[in-house]
Amino acid sequence: MASSTSFVAPNASFENWPNVGRVAASKVTDTNWIWALHADCHDFRAHDTRLHALTARIFASHFGHLSIVFAWVGGMFMSGARFSNYLPWLDRPALYRPGAQPVPRTVPGIPSIAQDVVNGDVGGGFASIQITSGLFFIWRSHGFTSSSQLFAASIASVVVALVMLVGGWYHYHVVTPRLEWFASIDSALNHHLAGLFGLGSLAWAGHIIHVSMPTQALLLLGVDPQLIPAPHRLVSSQSWLQLVAPGFSLRNLFTLNWEALGSGLTALGGLQPTTESLWLSDVAHHHLAVGVVFIIAGHMYQTDFGLGISLSGILANHRLELFNSCHLQLALQLAILGSVSVWVGHVLVALPAYPFLLTDYATVLSVFTHHQWIGGFFIVGGAAHASMALIYD
């Protein structure tokens, strides 16, 4: 692969876009053009062979992928806020089934075509499509108790999606990072492990303790979800946390009375009898431990201070040009993520972290199958790109 010399990103205009990915054949006589339409646009070598240009294009495409994910998640929140029975289900999860997207009784404009068969009775006088995505169980474990909260999360997701789109355009057409920045494997590992995984897991443990646990306790006591305080009020008031974790306080933390913190960070094991899921205090303990481990692991790699392991040096000594092979990097990531997806599918069935998930067999089966399919596709993709790395790189 040719090295980058003076890479200048093209202007963001349709006239300057390459023809890669368009129908190149003069006579479309088979379905090959369909595959080329989707494959050629992702063949970055056909766009540019310079390493810096390829790396910048891949980096910018990550923002586009993230924008799609956030827009997709925002649509889920919007559907739950406006077109579902989440609130009745939240009050009686053992009696009602999750339902969303009710369709009109007849086709709009053609009243002779009835479609009542699409809407099924999911309980509480609500007729809609029964969903098996598991979103209701996830939202309950997160602490969502009103449609306005789901709607706010939807708007926030769409805003972040737009920010990701602007970020992808900005980092490709305005300010493109230097090639040395992309090649800093040690710094990337340091920030991803310590920052993304470590601090992210630590923050999620705090969310479970301060928001999820009090909300779950009030719901199990039979409190109307509309009367439960909003998440920001739960966080700002210590009295709600004292209901479920009396000893969990900063005073006990700084006075080294860590045994009292066990009321919020437990290791009970097993499943909670009422919700048939893991104890939220156990889940919080897990995320706290994972966060600490990853923060420490992030400092294993050598960065600006010269301390730790130099992964780039190890790769250089073994003549492994990992950075110069995009296919090899993608193959490793696909194989790892695919294996993790298969593992997560089994763990969610054996040790469900979401309350009342095991009470819905259709959702359990769907979630398991979903993760197995994703894992299978990723592992096959990893093998495919590994073979491409052997051929091209």
Instruction: Confirm whether 163 is domain-assigned.
Output: yes
Q: Give residue 277's domain range.
A: 184-308
According to the model, what pLDDT value does residue 314 have? 67
The pLDDT tens digits for 276-330 are: 999 999 999 999 999 999 998 888 877 666 666 776 666 666 555 666 778 888 8
Q: Mean pLDDT across the stretch 82-101?
A: 91
Residue 361 has pLDDT above 80, yes or no: yes
Q: What is the pLDDT of residue 318?
A: 55
Looking at 180, 196, 228, which one is the last position of a domain? Answer: 180
CA pair distance 49, 56, nearest whole angstrom? 12
Same domain, 230 and 361: no
Kindly give the pairing relationship between strand 127-130 and strand 120-121: antiparallel
Give yes or no for residue 83 having a pLDDT over 70: yes
203 shares a domain with 174: no
Residue 123: inside a domain:
yes
The number of folded domains in the chain is 3
Average pLDDT (155-183) is 90
Residue 55 CA: distances (Å) to CA of 203, 346, 361, 363: 31, 35, 44, 40
Residue 79 pLDDT greater than 50, yes or no = yes
Give me the percent of the chain exceeding a pLDDT of 90: 42
In this structure, are 20 and 116 located in the same domain? yes
pLDDT average, residue stretch 195-215: 93
Q: Looking at the structure, tell me whether residues 176 and 220 fall in a common domain.
A: no
Residue 23 lies in a domain: yes
Q: Are residues 304 and 359 in the same domain?
A: no
- State the pLDDT at residue 145: 93
Average pLDDT estimate for 245-264: 78
Q: Does 45 or 187 have the greater pLDDT score? A: 187
From 254, 279, 308, the end of a domain falls on 308
* Residues 192 and 174 occupy one common structural domain: no
Residues 290 and 214 in one domain: yes
> pLDDT at position 3, please?
44
* Average of per-residue pLDDT values in the chain: 84
Q: Does a structural domain hold residue 320?
A: no
Q: If you search the block for the tokens 């990853």, which residue do you land on?
A: 294
For residue 392, tell me if it sits in a domain. yes
Are residues 230 and 170 located together in one domain of the fold? no
pLDDT tens, position by position, 109-136 = 888 877 777 888 888 888 888 899 999 9
253 falls within a domain: yes
Please measure the distance between the N-terminal and C-terminal CA atoms of the chain and give it in whole angstroms: 8
What's residue 177's pLDDT? 87
Q: Check residues 29 and 174 and name the one with the higher pLDDT.
A: 174
In a domain, 267, yes or no: yes
Whether residue 202 is found in the same domain as residue 351 = no
Kindly state whether residues 231 and 100 are assigned to the same domain: no
238 within a domain of the structure (yes/no): yes
Same domain? 153 vs 196 = no
Nearest to 275 by CA among 133, 87, 140, 80: 140
Same domain for 166 and 22 = yes
